[in-house]
Amino acid sequence: MIIIHQTLVSEDILDKEFVCNLSACKGACCVQGDEGAFVEEDEKKMLKKVYPAVKKYLTKDGIDAIEKQGYWVTNDEGVIKTPLMKNGPCAYTIWEKGVALCGIEKAFLDKKVKWQKPVSCHLYPIRITKVGAFDALNYEKWSICKPACKNGKELGVPIFRFVKTALIRKYGEDYYEALEATYQYREAQEKD
């Protein structure tokens, strides 16, 4: 682990490559899993705020799930998550040409809302856990992302660069610059 500001960063985030390949995975991360996406405490109000504009993008099953369960749910461990539709996908999932996408992000791209989506989705495949006062950033390996790993390797894009916008959103430009400098330093050390 590498300490950058108030975070512990797994070396995998610098060493492993990753670029989503939606044509191969079909957005499986929005569909598979036992629970919805992680929602930070301050994001609860955003889910409520954007819902009227986002609702126009959602499926009937998604709307039903949100209106029955709420904009977010809390699991047995007290972790806040997005609700799921009865057949499993995140309630905010939409489909375009057979690919699962985020309805919140679609509304954001269409400039209907100013909030992109939960930062946990934006940062994926990075997952954040708390370790004392630190955020620990780890690479979550999931078999459905094999096409993204292959694509990232072919393009030569390390995970942290793939999620650059999300890292800046979460921690700021200075943080990302420190991460990039750490990467550059490690690359130079390996060449020596």
Per-residue pLDDT of 62-83, as tens digits, reads 999 999 999 999 999 999 999 9
Assigned token pair, 173 = 């430009």
User: Could you give the C-alpha distances from 27 to 21, 109, 126, 147, in angstroms and in order?
Assistant: 8, 17, 16, 11
Q: What is the mean pLDDT of the chain?
A: 93
Q: What is the pLDDT of residues 156-172, one digit of tens each?
A: 999 999 999 999 999 99
Q: How confident is the model at residue 189 (pLDDT cuts 50, 70, 90)?
A: confident
Q: What is the pLDDT of residues 34-47, one digit of tens each?
A: 889 999 999 999 99
Q: What is the CA radius of gyration of the chain?
A: 17
Q: What is the DSSP string of 62-97?
A: HHHHHHHH-SSEE-TTS-EE--B-TTSSBTTEEEET
- The yes-or-no verdict on residue 48 having pLDDT over 90 is yes
If we measure between CA atoms, which residue out of 88, 79, 82, 136 comes closest to residue 105? 82
**Distance, CA of 182 to CA of 37 (rounded, Å):** 29
pLDDT at site 71: 97
| 7-9 β-sheet, strand order | 2-4, 7-9, 134-139, 126-131
If we measure between CA atoms, which residue out of 192, 169, 174 comes closest to residue 5? 174
Which helix (H) or strand (E) segment holds residue 166: the answer is helix 164-171
